[in-house]
Amino acid sequence: MAKKERGAPEINASSMADIAFLLLVFFLVTTTIDVERGIAVKLPEWSNEPPEEINLKQRNVFSVLVNAQNQLLVRGELAKIEELRDRAKEFIMNPSANPELSEAPNQAIISLKNDRGTSYETYIEVYNELKAAYNELWDEETMRIYGVHYSEDLPKDKKDKIKAKIPFVLSEAEPTAFGEEAK
Amino acid sequence: MSKFNKKRGKATPAISTASLPDIVFILLFFFMVITKLRETDLKVDVQVPQATELEKLEQKSLIHYIYIGRPYERFQAIYGTAPRIQLDDSFATIADIPLFVENHKQTVQPNLRGRINTSLRVDGKITMGIVQDVKTQLRKIGQLKVNYAARRRAENR
């Protein structure tokens, strides 16, 4: 009997689960599982020289202006954000060979200009619509050629092929200072 | 002996809970690994706008955040109500961005530096002026990969 008592007594581990549960609950509560998402943009490189003048045909440029009142001017006329996507798609692909719209998808250029007073929300909405137009076109094109939807998992060579056919060209002009907020 | 056996057969054996801590620990580790504790204390009000054409941001270690928004009420006495930039834990100006980006770059392995992304967490209600200045500054220092943080919007058309 005396011999037995000398051995180290076993630690009661039944409360281990409780401790673990407590920690678990803590991490459960503090965890935010939402993945960071956003609209990916590649900014143009900075150069100190003024950009060289390129003469573009009027028909190949799809100009979008967003003013400080968050109104939209598409190719010189007032437009709504809701119609922007379809108009951009029609402009890029030009299925009816309209002489007013782009010559070919790889010639099309979208020019976006905003004021400093434009709200960020509107800007993102417009940018989103233009990007959506391209995404839908890419999707339609991959569907037509490969019979699958366009996605990030598509093999790179196929993706590059589609993007060479319909390149995403969005040029952003330096904004005008209208509607700048007082500092 | 047979009597003994009968007795045993009748009673439902207690389920052993000895492995319960292990199961809980596995869950615990899972949550510990995926948890990202909010390390920055926001001083500006940022409600990112909604959009549909979103892309996932890869590895967290390759991202740095620039917050732009109006200061919270408790800071307005000092910093005013005009939109401000926040880097890490403090208010900053456009001029602080190069150092901030460079500091982050130093923590990233050289072969991965080309994949560094700037996440612009901008409040939807502010105007483009300050955002434009930040974009220009990022272009000047050659940090061209930018991501406009946004929430998912269900498409309803």
Question: Is B26 inside any structural domain?
Answer: yes
Q: How many domains does chain B have?
A: 2
The pair of structure tokens assigned to A112 is: 């976006």
What is the SS3 string spanning B35-56?
Answer: CCCCCCCCCEECCCCEECCCEE
DSSP assignments along A140-165, one per residue? HHHHHHHSS---TTS-HHHHHHHHHH
Q: For residue B104, is pLDDT > 90?
A: yes
Best residue of A12, A14, A33, A39 to probe chain B, by most B CBs closer than 10 Å: A39
Q: For residue B92, is pLDDT > 60?
A: yes
pLDDT digit string, tens, across residues A14-64: 787 788 888 888 888 877 666 678 898 888 888 887 777 777 788 888 899
The minimum CA-CA distance between A170 and chain B, rounded to whole Å, is 15
Single-letter code of the amino acid located at A104: A
Same domain, B58 and B9: no
Q: For residue B152, is pLDDT > 50?
A: yes
Helices (runs of H) and strands (runs of E) counted in chain A: 5, 6
Same domain, B63 and B104: yes
Chain B CB contacts of A68 under 8 Å are 127
CB-based contact B128 A123, cutoff 8 Å: yes
The minimum CA-CA distance between B4 and chain A, rounded to whole Å, is 30
Give the chain B residue nearest A23 (alpha carbons).
Answer: B28
Q: Which domain holds residue A150?
A: 58-172
Q: Which domain holds residue B141?
A: 44-152
Question: Is A27 inside any structural domain?
Answer: no
The minimum CA-CA distance between B11 and chain A, rounded to whole Å, is 23
Give the chain B residue nearest A12 (alpha carbons).
Answer: B18
**What is the structure's pLDDT at A149?**
87
Question: Is B145 inside any structural domain?
Answer: yes
Nearest to A120 among B25, B57, B131 (CB): B131
Nearest to A121 among B20, B28, B125 (CB): B125
As for the ipTM of the complex, it is: 0.76
CA dihedral A86, A152, B66, B51 (to 10 degrees): 30
Question: Is A44 inside any structural domain?
Answer: no
Q: How many domains does chain A have?
A: 1
